[in-house]
């Protein structure tokens, strides 16, 4: 499901460096062979400007958006995490933003490719790479987690197969989103087959990483009970935060929740508590 429109890019402050990247996605066995069959994925890497070789390795964080959205819409969260010490990689899923390809189902391959590249960065501790995904990005966080072995996951209003299939049935919504600057380029038949063959509640027991689920009670697109069902099926340490009222965009856009999610991730990988803000 898409985030709210009309979100403008946040300026990059002088204490953070941002790089635009391109990486090849696809099944891991093909990427390891160096084939060029998978889609090219656009990503942005955020690093503290003071980060340098020889210093202590930093934790990494992969950030993924919802359906029809893109990495730019999550820049404020990326900056918050980077200020906290994370090296952050935000991606455009295939068929979104500046990435190639079509939304054809196995977008967890995009997450695996991003996590693999981030782990190879000389400033990143490969054992402390985390994930934060919202809506469809939350869904693919679940799909990717058993193989990605993230140190911790934060999933905001995560969608499931039923929700995503229902969105495909509402074709008129995609025209409206396109006018608002939200777009997803679909291979609808392959996407439907993929979603019809999977169930997040079957995947959840295979996730043993610490997981934070954040959901607004008033979410009009993904019912909050889906997060409760996920928590009941997960095998690892799982925390659920239910927000009073709100809507589908609340957990994804609130600066206070950005800080809360970043602090939760930091606590799970052993970063000292942040200094209180005055």
- Residue labelled with tokens 């990005």: 137
More confident residue, 95 or 55: 95
pLDDT at 2: 43
How many degrees, rounded to 5, is the angle at CA 14 between CA 85 and CA 119?
35
Answer yes or no: is pLDDT of 32 > 90: no
Q: Name the packing angle between helices 255-268 and 75-83 (round to 10°).
A: 50
Give the confidence band of 178 by pLDDT, cuts at 50, 70, 90. low
Q: How much is the pTM?
A: 0.93
pLDDT at 170: 82
pLDDT > 70: percent of the chain: 90
Tens-place pLDDT, residues 147-167: 999 999 999 999 999 999 999
User: 3.40.50.1820, 2.60.40.10, 3.30.1330.60, 3.40.190.10: which CATH number matches 16-268?
Assistant: 3.40.50.1820
pLDDT at 183: 82
Q: How far from 150 is each of 93, 202, 210, CA to CA, in Å?
A: 18, 18, 9
Question: Mean pLDDT over residues 81-98, rounded?
Answer: 97
Answer whether 114's CB lies under 8 Å from 42's CB.
no
pLDDT at 31: 54
Lowest mean pLDDT among 54-58, 136-140, 151-155, 191-195: 54-58
- For residue 58, give the H/E element and its range: strand 58-64
pLDDT at 6: 46
Answer yes or no: is pLDDT of 7 > 90: no
| Residues 6+ away with beta carbon under 8 Å from 211 | 152, 153, 154, 155, 231, 234, 236, 237, 238, 239
Tens-place pLDDT, residues 244-260: 999 999 999 999 999 99
Give the confidence band of 181 by pLDDT, cuts at 50, 70, 90. low
More confident residue, 1 or 122: 122
Give the confidence band of 4 by pLDDT, cuts at 50, 70, 90. very low
Please state the domain extents for the chain.
16-268
Answer yes or no: is pLDDT of 1 > 70: no
- Helix runs in 50-181, H state only: 75-83, 108-119, 136-148, 161-169, 171-179
């Amino acid at each position: 499901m898409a985030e709210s429109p009309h979100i403008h890019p946040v300026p990059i402050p002088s204490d953070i460096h941002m790089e635009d990247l391109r990486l090849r996605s696809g099944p891991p066995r093909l990427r390891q062979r160096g084939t060029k069959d998978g889609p090219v994925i656009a990503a942005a890497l955020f690093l503290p400007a003071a980060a340098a070789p020889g210093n202590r390795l930093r934790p990494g964080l992969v950030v993924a958006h919802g359906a029809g959205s893109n990495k730019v819409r999550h820049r404020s969260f990326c900056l918050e995490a980077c200020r906290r010490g994370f090296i952050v990689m935000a991606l455009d899923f295939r068929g979104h933003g500046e990435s190639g390809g079509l939304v054809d189902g196995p977008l967890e391959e995009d997450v695996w490719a991003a996590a693999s590249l981030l782990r190879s960065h000389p400033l990143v501790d490969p054992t402390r790479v985390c994930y934060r995904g919202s809506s469809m990005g939350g869904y693919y966080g679940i799909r990717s987690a058993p193989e990605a072995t993230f140190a911790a996951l934060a999933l905001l209003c995560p969608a499931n197969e039923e929700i995503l299939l229902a969105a495909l049935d509402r074709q008129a919504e995609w025209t409206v989103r396109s006018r608002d600057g939200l777009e997803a380029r679909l291979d609808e038949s392959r996407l439907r087959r993929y979603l019809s063959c999977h169930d997040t509640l079957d995947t959840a027991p295979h996730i043993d990483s610490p997981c934070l689920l954040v959901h607004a009670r008033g979410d009009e697109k993904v019912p909050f009970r889906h997060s409760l069902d996920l928590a009941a099926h997960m095998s690892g340490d799982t925390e659920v935060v239910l927000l009073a009222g709100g809507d589908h965009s609340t957990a994804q856009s609130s600066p206070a929740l950005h800080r809360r999610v970043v602090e939760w991730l930091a606590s799970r990988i052993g970063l000292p508590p942040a200094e209180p803000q005055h």
